[in-house]
Structure 1
């Protein structure tokens, strides 16, 4: 939440540059201001794809250059098939990495330009993002970066120091119960949970909660203070938090009433393998229980209350102002209409709509051009036929003149009588 300290707008933008400071002037709170910024980004992205004038503008350029990556920490169904590749291919990729990391650098010292360039293109892109190679910067460069860091003009990149996959993929599984005896797992929309269900393809959507659950599994829950707040909201049955886990309320096992108890377990997940007879297995995953990740708690539990107090996440009594202005009302209406859709469904529906509009525009423009094209060709062909007809008439006329001249040349020069006889014969023929 932003704290409005009564400072002028320019000072607030200087301390924390964000358009959220304009929210009160529009009758919006912080959450609605963030939704408005996201909505504007969606409109600009959609318009840039559909309208040519926006595609040629800087808006379209920056929307695509600021897009960070399509790679997610959440595996896709395609990853399962990649996991089934032969062992020799997997080992070959590891050997290739070792060669690039260890052997290729010595090519820099060989006085052959082609080998030096080959080593450059294999090594420099990696060392550019490698932390140790850029940890010792000049103080002047570091000061310049710190001066503009608040504006987020550029971003720092770094490798993950600890990654999953070696010895299994750790995953946190939430469980709820009414009587502390029968426990039901709470499945998320995007992260691995149920071993018989694969994770969907979510790009270009980024599910923040599922991503954070992946990071939380890399260490104890004390390294993720937000997890205790998540458990509290689920015990309270907060609708906004439940929709982050399951957009479809019927898929949430405690949709009728919130659970009385909640706990979390840590598992190690592996992909299943193809059966020996070549048939596909029934499950996508196999897992093994590791340890308890979060103890069993309930509303008013002293352990839960102490954790929330320690992290400063205790509920604070605050009256949320509901504005009846035009813009907040529009945002609430839009959220009510799309809250049942998952992230990928919403993003891909916009993309497909834009693609359909572009295809229809191309189709109608081609039909218009085809309607005018035959008329032009007909006129053109008529002109060609007229020209060719005139040329033929001229040729026939020239032939007739030549034949007439030849006849006149063959007639002998005679007296007037002879000419008179010829004239008579001509008259008889006529």
Structure 2
């Protein structure tokens, strides 16, 4: 049976594979010379100092040394990352620190230049979780063992990352002051207004109000309260917290296309399980009186915690059943919640310190009592002490983003910790999180519809691959692939084109019938000749009602103007000022590596992005499974 460490390393490799492959198919349209945000305009030259490297940590800066242009260098990072992550999924020997270090450097190289299309919370979560994989994975050099006494201690960092992610995600919703979270009405709008909903989201949107309010309250309980059970001393409470978090992630995955985020979070949840939990060895019979007393005390403590959880849920969220209907409402004030956050943030730090100290002491004890031979004992003790220093350093760094939840607690951090964090901030080793901070789409889902015309009279809509457009098109299932243009179109609808200059670039590319950008769209209504005019309008979309069987969506008939009617001449000067135009000739001379990368690109172009990403991922997972079965 695989250990929690094995599951974590395989899972991170799978997520890396998804992330690299998903980004690869979008590189030309997003970052190429004719794309929306040409990376060549921001990438710097070969770093001359360490400080210069930290300013833009990317291997792509070395592109000209290998006769490659910027787009080919990004392709190379994606392909090498996908190749080694596939090997890491299939072969145990490839799940080493060196391989995970390479994967982390490659993804960091892309992230550092990714701009708005790559700066999502799941991207920085992957970087942080991926860096922990470097610490957790064995070196596999000089015959060193694959498992160590300090494995539980390094896996503790994953548990702490999971706690910070879930606790912050719950807290920020209420700290934002959004009236839908405080009124437990956020789910009235969430299923309809999220970026790319799935078909089941339509049905969840039409569930009874009491169910959505109860679900809303349950989210707060699972994320804010249950998260503290990660550090519980009893096995039952930890397993309960594991299933609670996984259940929440599956519901989010079921109703929304959040790429690899939910999968990555579920992988982090395995840090809550010991190897005994996975092998059922922890359920063995207890024979001695001490074991029986310990078991009884553990059961009493577990019952006490569950009782407190139920009572607090009833008191603070008003959860009760009346006439077969579950009702709920928040029974605390914003001022009272701020006091709780300050107290809970401080308690979480001390609880984490106590939990980490226990793990360190346990590891050292096992080194001294379970190893055989003087050399083995010394090796285990030295490696455990070394890992302890690394874990303490990483934990200290993480306190800076963790205490962003409360400024008073943040002010109590020792100055050296703040200094350490500032030195490494550009590497995304630790980050602050907080998903769905404020509910969007209250009163309807804003959606930008782009239209082109050859005569300013007959307008045709551009249909995007996955975001809502035509009213009769069903919401797609696209996860784990992330269509990053569709995601940014969702953000663009929440703001204005003046604050999304990539949107203006997109309009110009459509007026030019640019193939690499059109590859990111469902169809081109002007396949024979590019349009002369283009505009964007802002519609308000709603799910259709239960009685409307023909369409999934309905939209208000009177849209607002998002952009005026534009021509290429209107946009040329704007893009010239931002160095998007004119497009310079490619770097010469071409190298063989550059030519090979462009040949690979020509082979995969035209393959459905979702099919390619899922196909590659399933190939790696099935190969790993078959190899394990053959042993």
Superposed pair shares fold, TM > 0.5: yes
> How far is 1:219 from its partner?
1.5
Q: 2:605 aligns with which of 324, 336, 339?
A: 339
Match of residue 587 from structure 2 = 321
**Residue matched to 1:195:** 471
CA shift in 2, pair 1:317/1:187, >3 Å:
closer
Aligned to 2:560: 291
| Aligned counterparts, 1:381-392, within 5 A | none
Q: Which structure has greater helix proportion?
A: 2
CA contact (8 A) 1:130 1:158 kept: no
Contact 1:84–1:274 (CA<8 Å) still a contact in 2? yes
Name the CA shift for 1:9/1:330 in 2 (closer, same or farther; >3 Å): farther
Alpha-carbon distance in 2 for matches of 1:155, 1:26: 33
Moved more, 280-289 or 50-59: 50-59
User: 186-195 vs 142-151, which deviates more?
Assistant: 142-151
Aligned counterparts, 1:13-162, within 5 A: 13-55=53-95, 59=99, 65-66=129-130, 73-94=195-216, 114=305, 118=309, 133-136=405-408, 137-138=410-411, 140=415, 141-162=417-438
The corresponding residue for 1:370 is: none
Other-structure match for 2:369 = none
State how far apart, in whole Å, the 1-side matches of 2:438 and 2:574 are: 26
**1:53, distance to aligned residue in structure 2 (A):** 2.2
Query: 8 Å contact 2:45–2:61 — kept in the other structure?
Result: no
Cα distance in 2 for residues equivalent to 1:243 and 1:161: 32
Q: Tell me, what secondary structure is at the counterpart of 2:494?
A: coil
User: Partners of 1:299 and 1:226 in 2: how far apart?
Assistant: 15
Count of matched residue positions in the alignment of Structure 1 and Structure 2: 345
Distance 1:347 1:115, change over 3 A: closer
Contact 2:452 2:532 in 1 (8 A): yes
Q: Which has the larger radius of gyration?
A: 1
The verdict on how the C-alpha distance between 1:56 and 1:78 changes in structure 2, with shifts beyond 3 A counting, is farther
Matched, 1:209 2:477: no
Q: Is 1:239 aligned to residue 515 of structure 2?
A: yes
Shift in CA distance, 209/153, structure 1 to aligned 2, threshold 3 Å:
same
Distance in 2 between residues matched to 1:97 and 1:9, nearest whole Å? 47
Aligned match of 1:418: none
Question: Secondary structure of 1:300's partner?
Answer: helix
CA RMSD of the aligned region, Å?
Answer: 3.9
Q: Distance in 2 between matches of 1:101 and 1:207?
A: 28
1:226 corresponds in structure 2 to 502
Aligned partners of 2:601 and 2:586: how far apart in 1? 18
Give yes or no for contact 1:50–1:355 (8 Å, CA) kept in 2: yes
**Residue 300 of structure 1 aligns with which residue?**
569
CA deviation digits over 1:68-101, x for unaligned, max 9?
99x9832112212222323331233345568899
The answer (yes or no) to whether the contact 1:176–1:262 under 8 Å persists in 2 is yes
Give how far 1:197 is off: 1.0
- Tell me, in whole angstroms, the C-alpha distance in 2 between the residues paired with 1:78 and 1:3: 42
Structure 2: which 5+ runs fail to align? 1-39, 105-125, 132-161, 166-190, 227-302, 318-339, 349-400
Does residue 181 in structure 1 map to residue 457 in structure 2? yes
What do the CA deviations read for 1:165-193 (whole angstroms, capped 9, x no partner)?
Answer: 32111111101111111111101101111
On the 8 A contact 2:404/2:432 being kept in 1, the answer is no
Query: Which TM-score applies when normalising by structure 2?
Result: 0.48
- How far 1:114 moved relative to its partner? 3.2
Structure 1 residue 39: Cα displacement = 0.9
